[in-house]
């Protein structure tokens, strides 16, 4: 079998990934050890929490600025 050729552009990216700092490495190892369904559930919960946070920020902005947007009619030409 012929040896695999490396792409010249991927030279610095080839090989093992760089080591992470200790706490991040521990989190990554823990994440990788979870079953796929647990990871999916955690991602789903995170997405729901982010969506809830955005919703609460929008409500706070509406409350601060007087509620939901209101349509206003503006005259662009005066009647003769």
**Which tens digit of pLDDT belongs to each residue from 56-66?**
999 998 888 88
The answer to whether the Cα torsion of 31, 33, 34, 36 is positive or negative is positive
Question: In sequence order, what are the residues at sequence separation of 6 or more whose Cβ sits closer than 8 angstroms to the Cβ of residue 75?
Answer: none
Cβ 14 vs Cβ 22: under 8 Å = no
- pLDDT, tens digit, 9 for 90 and up, residues 8-25: 666 666 677 778 888 998
């Amino acid at each position: 079998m012929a040896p695999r050729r490396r792409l010249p552009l991927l030279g610095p990216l080839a090989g093992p990934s760089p080591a992470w700092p200790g706490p991040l490495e521990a989190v990554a190892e823990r994440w990788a050890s979870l079953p796929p369904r647990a990871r999916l559930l955690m991602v789903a919960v995170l997405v729901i929490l982010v969506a809830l946070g955005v919703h609460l920020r929008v409500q706070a902005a509406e409350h601060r600025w007087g509620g939901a947007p209101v349509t206003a009619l503006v005259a662009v030409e005066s009647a003769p």
